[in-house]
A and B are shown apart, each in its own frame.
Chain A
């Protein structure tokens, strides 16, 4: 029985003496060690998961039920925070962040205070100074919920950071900062495509009216045309009179994106001045601007626009014709009548097609409504 280990040892030492075998043996030993380490690591992670589950359950049993009672009284709150500190940080975070996300008003303020008392905001600020941008990003995502005016300076320090971090910092500052902060953070931001406007629209939607007015004052300082157009469109909803002041300038802008933005904003402001501006933009050299101006005129639902939109049914651009036809349709019976007339008598095949398609869509919508009512 003892002969086998001896034989193996002899074979091994024989191999070790030859360089090529020795190299392969070293490779094998390294591989086996790595495999073993990885398996051990995986098992450790598995036990950590189980441990975290147990901690979470224990936390819920101990402090879950008393959370809302603690919110009612400052002593209870301090006691709750003291007890919570004995649990692992991820467990507390998971619990408290969920409530910050789902509450509003005074309750939310109280929970944010608890977040601060637990030292979690302090940890976020530490992470925000990390050299690893991934850690900074996670910190900002957490601060989006819990930051207050006190964290303003730390957020503004992110103005030279990478794109997603600047966007995140701007989203937090929109709530707790000033218009000047936002201009400083965003003025040289470059949006490479329109899809990237969405987070900025979200940011603008959370901004107080006072900040909006300040931001519009610095509208020309924003370098990116897409950013300017986003701010302009949002302002039409929140501060229409301020937006109106900027519209003529936006309609004359050399960048197509800004002129398109001017059309959308004008469509949201149903006044004579914006209608005239849209009528002028129907002759723009860019098909995108013409199409958007046609769509915006439809939004205003002014019957006197129908003949002008009718002319656009002969536009060389497919999208301008489609938008014009849709705009005519949404004017109601008069619009439908106009489209029927074009579809029945117009010699231009493209105008006929555009009108016909909108009439089909109208019929289907009527049927759909019927289907839904059934």
Chain B
């Protein structure tokens, strides 16, 4: 009898997860079509010439980024936007990050009165560039990425702020696309997240993506399909369910006032990006303030994904720890009608499929092995079950390629698309199981109390030598 109920449990989970994904796909198609109607590139020249275009501050936290900081800052300053300031927050770097910036941008110290809207570590000095007055650099005691972002929030005085990673490549018109939501949506947008694309395989010239192609590394190719799936139906679908819980730390545009009201970034977590979005939901829902958190399918930035299993493992481990930490910290939202659709649909989705999903999936594999070991198995049922699970996964991946085609596809040739279909097929044989293991490792390490970022290494967009960066929270 118990055997029967365990079977039922796994089948139910299987039906629920795939049913939810099917609903998200349908919702994301509607949202992508809506976005096609509301993005207005033809008005860019008007927006650029208007004094009334809201100013934006770019907050770029940097820790030991001496090698790449100059290129990153130059690419931020090249963004097409009429009223922009770039604020680099040097989070107590021990290398020559600050010296490099001082030399290249001729920084001069300036005494500023900065209000502490959000508590942070002490600021050591504030500099403004004499080469480009839009560039400000803040030197502070080391306090982690979240603390650095909070310093930037205190410093900036623009209504909108854009938080990003110093090592991402931003599309030159990304801010124009994202600001449209704040200008034309009457439902009080407080945050906009854009779609992050994989930079591996792309040709980068002068800090901008010059040409896009598929990378040689299969690990990176698997992540292309994974990113399309995560961003184009995972996050787009939630727009119609009250908004999703994640805006990638790589690039997000926020209403400053909303972040300050939510208390800024939380400093004792590795998932500060997801935690902030959850708190934005929470604060606005608790105060009854109308608000909207939106994800758009427009490709706003490119990031380099790991091409080595060790780095991928550390990245996924950190993502999972950040997710678990946030979901546990805000557990009172779960099935709480006070939080509307977020508490009743979105939060439970993340708990069931993102937090508990890996554990249930592991349980499924374990149960399968148990049944084989004890000979208590219906081979036909198992084969049919695995085949249907496999094809459903494949179906969803191909679906994400179609969603990509509906909006802005970078992969338009027959060769590229056939290759991506092959990648979507092959990722089920090993890659998915591997990432499942990394996520489980993340949960295990969270339970052991691990809170550090771990060591990340990047190959670099060009033929630069491999550089190692350690980010300790």
B154 at the interface (CB under 8 A from A): no
A367 touches B108 (CB 8 A): yes
For the complex, give the distance between the alpha carbons of A368 and B405 in Å: 47
Q: Residues 357-376 of chain B: 1 if any A CB is under 8 Å from the residue's CB, otherwise 0?
A: 00000000000000000000
Excluding A42-B402, A145-B42, 9 further A-B contacts by CB distance (< 8 Å) are A15-B384, A41-B402, A43-B414, A97-B42, A101-B42, A134-B37, A193-B188, A353-B113, A371-B106
Q: Is A95 an interface residue (CB 8 A)?
A: no
A42-B405, A195-B182, A202-B50 known; A360 vs B111 contact (CB < 8 Å): yes
Can you pick out 12 interface pairs between chain A and chain B where the beta carbons lie within 8 Å of each other? Answer: A20-B381, A41-B402, A42-B402, A46-B417, A133-B37, A134-B33, A190-B186, A193-B188, A194-B159, A195-B159, A201-B50, A357-B112
One digit per residue, 1 when the CB lies within 8 angstroms of any chain A CB and 0 when it does not, for chain B 398-435 equals 11011001000000111001000100000000000000
Of B126-134, B261-269, B337-345, which stretch is located at the interface?
A: B126-134
A-B contact count (CB 8 A): 140
Query: Distance (Å) between the CB of A320 and the closest chain B CB?
Result: 13
Beta-carbon contact of A201 and B40 below 8 Å: no
Q: Answer yes or no: B203 CB below 8 A from chain A CBs.
A: no
Shortest Cβ distance from A134 into chain B, in angstroms? Answer: 4
Interface size on B, residues (CB 8 A): 56
Q: Are A42 and B184 in contact (CB under 8 A)?
A: no
Q: Is the CB of A164 within 8 A of B42?
A: no
Closest to A318 in B: B115
The reply on A221 being an interface residue by CB < 8 A is no
In this complex, the member of B42, B52, B110, B414 whose beta carbon has the largest number of chain A beta carbons within 10 angstroms is: B52
Query: How far apart are the CA atoms of A42 and B395 in the complex, in Å?
Result: 13
Q: Using Cβ atoms and an 8 Å threshold, which residues of chain A touch B447?
A: none
Contact of B188 among A45, A192, A199, A357 (CB under 8 A): A192
State whether A199 and B183 are in contact (beta carbons under 8 Å apart), knowing that A31-B388, A43-B417 are contacts in the complex.
yes
Contact in complex: A371, B130 (CB < 8 Å): yes
Main secondary structure of the interface of A (DSSP, over half): helix
State whether the Cβ of B46 lies closer than 8 Å to any Cβ in chain A.
Answer: yes
| Shortest distance between the CB of A126 and any CB in chain B (Å) | 16
Contact A46 B413 (CB under 8 A): yes
Those 9 A-B pairs whose CB atoms lie nearest each other, nearest first? A371-B130, A134-B37, A31-B391, A201-B52, A24-B384, A163-B186, A137-B37, A368-B130, A38-B398
The yes or no answer to A138 lying at the interface (CB within 8 A) is: yes
Collect the chain A residues with CB atoms within 8 Å of residue B46's CB.
202
B53 within 8 A of partner (CB): yes
Quick check: B112 and A198 within 8 Å, CB to CB? no
B183 contacts A38, CB within 8 Å? no
Q: Which residues of B contact A197 (CB under 8 A)?
A: 52
Q: Does any Cβ of B come within 8 Å of A205's Cβ? A: yes
- The residues of B that contact A322 with a CB separation of less than 8 Å are 113
Q: Does B290 contact A (CB under 8 A)?
A: yes
Across-interface contacts of B381 in A (CB, < 8 A): 20-21, 24
Determine the chain B residues whose CB is within 8 A of the CB of A353 once the complex forms: 113
Check if A49 is an interface residue, CB within 8 A of chain B.
yes
Q: B332 at the A/B interface (Cβ < 8 Å)? A: no
* Interchain CB contact under 8 A, B112 and A28: no
- Residues in B4-41 with C-beta less than 8 Å from chain A: 33-34, 36-38, 40
Alpha-carbon gap, A38 to B417, bound state (A): 12
Instruction: Indicate if B387 sits at the interface (CB-CB under 8 A).
Output: yes
- B373-401 contact mask (Cβ, 8 Å, vs A): 1 or 0: 00000001100110110011011001101
Known contacts: A137-B38, A357-B112, A367-B108. The answer to whether A21 contacts B398 by CB under 8 A is: no
Asked if B54 lies at the interface with its beta carbon under 8 angstroms from chain A, I say yes
List the A side residues contacting B123 at CB < 8 Å. Answer: none
A374 to nearest B CB, angstroms?
9
B346 at the interface (CB under 8 A from A): no
Map CB proximity to A onto B153-194 as digits: 1 under 8 Å, 0 otherwise.
000000110000000000000000000001111111000000
Contact between B133 and A368, CB atoms less than 8 A apart: yes
B237 to A: closest C-beta gap in Å: 17
Contact flags A140-162 to B (C-beta < 8 A → 1, else 0): 01001100000000000000000
A31 engages B37 (CB within 8 Å): no
Decide if B351 is an interface residue (CB 8 Å cutoff): no
| A253 → chain B closest CB, angstroms | 20
B113's partner among A46, A201, A357 (CB-CB below 8 A) is A357
* Cβ A32 vs Cβ B188 within 8 A: no
Residues of A within 8 A of B285 (CB): none
Note all chain B residues with C-beta closer than 8 A to A208. none
> B190's closest neighbor in chain A, by CB?
A193
Q: State the CA gap A199–B392 with chains docked (Å).
A: 44
Contact indicator A198/B54 (Cβ below 8 Å): yes
Alpha-carbon distance between A47 and B43 when the two chains are bound, in angstroms? 30
Nearest CB of chain B from residue A296's CB, rounded to whole Å: 15
A371→B37 contact, CB < 8 A: no
Q: Which of A86-135 contact B (CB under 8 A)?
A: 97, 101, 133-135
Nearest-Cβ distance from residue B81 to partner chain A, whole angstroms: 13
Are A42's CB and B421's CB within 8 A?
yes
